[in-house]
């Protein structure tokens, strides 16, 4: 496919008088970043910019990506999805640089672009744009999650998302050997064209097993790696967690009861104290009264 395209491009170049220089290898652009699509031409004699035409278009559909004619951008017939995302470098045009800046690259931008240049002579060349997006770090979950015992069949699910192009998942054991049995991998694209890769491996649990999930992006290389070890300790973990929870609950209950008892005693004490104080006050009052009585008797 690529060689066919290149030979077609070479044929066009051979016929044209003006030689253009574009990258031979696909240009890799990260999703949502900006990219420069290089296209330069040899200008042996100084030329007037109003004599220069630059057309960038999609090779397959010939839809316009960007046009420059008679000293100005001509964007009336530009494909809508490129609106506000393209520009040439005006002060570079006179130096033979007709490169295009494409902003906020999306997956749909991937493909072949043709650069046409005319300064009296005419030439064209095509290049490939390859979009790439890094995957998230893979995450592994176990099913079932609890009460695991050696001999149980367990499904490990490794998920990674937001990447492009389609990633490959490799499962390996503790010794780094590729596991190939009982694996199902599915790839789903979101509305932006970015992929979620989900890979499930079914294994028969051993007392001490390590499984690692590696995610390979065909453009960006290995991107993520996660390793899970299902050990005897892990298998014992759920009961331990249960006992810890029960223990904590019991502690809390005992604490509450003790607190209630202390409170009740305090309340009782303070009630009795109040009662005692009231009685003492009454006694004092009575004494006062008897004193007054005595005084009145004397007078």
Ligand X SMILES: *[C@@H]1O[C@H](CO)[C@@H](O)[C@H](O)[C@H]1NC(C)=O
Residues that bind ligand X (CB under 6 A): 19, 21, 23, 27, 36, 38, 40, 42, 48, 50, 83-84, 89, 92, 97, 99, 153, 170, 176-178, 181-182, 202-204, 207-208, 231-232
Nearest Cα to Cα of residue 45 among 71, 13, 18 = 18
Check if the beta carbon of residue 196 is closer than 8 Å to that of residue 188. Answer: yes
User: Which 8-state DSSP code applies to residue 15?
Assistant: H
Q: Which residues does residue 122 pair with via DSSP β-bridges, in sequence order?
A: 118
d(CA 24, CA 30) in angstroms, rounded, equals 19
User: In terms of CB distance, is 11 or 256 closer to ligand X?
Assistant: 11
User: In terms of CB distance, is 171 or 195 closer to ligand X?
Assistant: 171
**Residue 199 CB, nearest distance to ligand X (Å)?**
13
Report the chain's C-alpha Rg in angstroms. 40
User: In terms of CB distance, is 120 or 265 closer to ligand X?
Assistant: 120
User: In terms of CB distance, is 63 or 248 closer to ligand X?
Assistant: 63
**Residue 95 CB, nearest distance to ligand X (Å)?**
8
d(CA 175, CA 172) in angstroms, rounded, equals 8
Buried b (16+ CB within 10 A) or exposed e, 132-164: bbbbeebebebeeeeebeeeeebebebbbbebb
d(CA 213, CA 140) in angstroms, rounded, equals 8
Helices (H), 44-109: 90-93
**Residue 44 CB, nearest distance to ligand X (Å)?**
7
**Residue 210 CB, nearest distance to ligand X (Å)?**
8
User: In terms of CB distance, is 84 or 296 closer to ligand X?
Assistant: 84
The helix (run of H) or strand (run of E) holding residue 141 is strand 139-143
**Residue 148 CB, nearest distance to ligand X (Å)?**
14
For ligand X, the nearest residue by Cβ is 19
**Residue 57 CB, nearest distance to ligand X (Å)?**
18
User: In terms of CB distance, is 62 or 180 closer to ligand X?
Assistant: 180
User: In terms of CB distance, is 20 or 194 closer to ligand X?
Assistant: 20
**Cα 218–chain centre separation:** 18
**Residue 269 CB, nearest distance to ligand X (Å)?**
59
DSSP 3-state of 282: helix
């Amino acid at each position: 496919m690529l060689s066919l395209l290149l030979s077609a491009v070479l044929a066009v170049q051979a016929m044209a008088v003006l030689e253009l220089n574009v990258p031979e290898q696909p240009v890799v652009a990260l999703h949502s970043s900006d990219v420069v699509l290089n296209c330069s031409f040899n200008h042996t004699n100084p030329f007037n910019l109003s004599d220069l035409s630059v057309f960038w278009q999609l090779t397959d559909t010939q839809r316009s990506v960007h046009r420059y004619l008679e000293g100005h951008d001509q964007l009336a017939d530009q494909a809508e999805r490129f609106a506000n995302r393209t520009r040439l470098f005006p002060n570079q045009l006179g130096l033979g640089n007709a490169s295009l800046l494409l902003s906020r690259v999306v997956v749909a931008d991937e493909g072949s672009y043709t650069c046409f240049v005319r300064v009296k002579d005419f030439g064209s060349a095509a290049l490939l744009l390859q979009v790439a997006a890094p995957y998230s770090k893979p995450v592994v979950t176990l099913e079932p999650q609890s009460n695991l015992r050696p001999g149980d069949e367990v499904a490990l699910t490794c998920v990674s998302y937001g990447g492009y192009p389609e990633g490959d998942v490799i499962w390996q054991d503790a010794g780094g050997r590729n596991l190939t049995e009982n694996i199902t991998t599915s790839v789903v694209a979101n509305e932006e064209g970015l992929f979620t890769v989900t890979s499930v491996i079914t294994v028969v649990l051993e007392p001490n097993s390590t499984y690692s999930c590696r995610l390979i992006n065909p453009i960006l290389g290995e991107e993520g790696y996660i390793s899970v070890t299902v050990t005897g300790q892990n298998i014992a973990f759920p009961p331990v967690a249960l006992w810890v929870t029960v223990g904590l609950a019991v502690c809390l209950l005992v604490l509450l009861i003790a607190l209630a008892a202390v409170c009740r005693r305090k309340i009782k004490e303070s009630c009795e104290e109040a009662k005692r104080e009231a009685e003492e006050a009454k006694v004092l009052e009575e004494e006062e009264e008897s004193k007054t009585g005595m005084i009145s008797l004397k007078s």
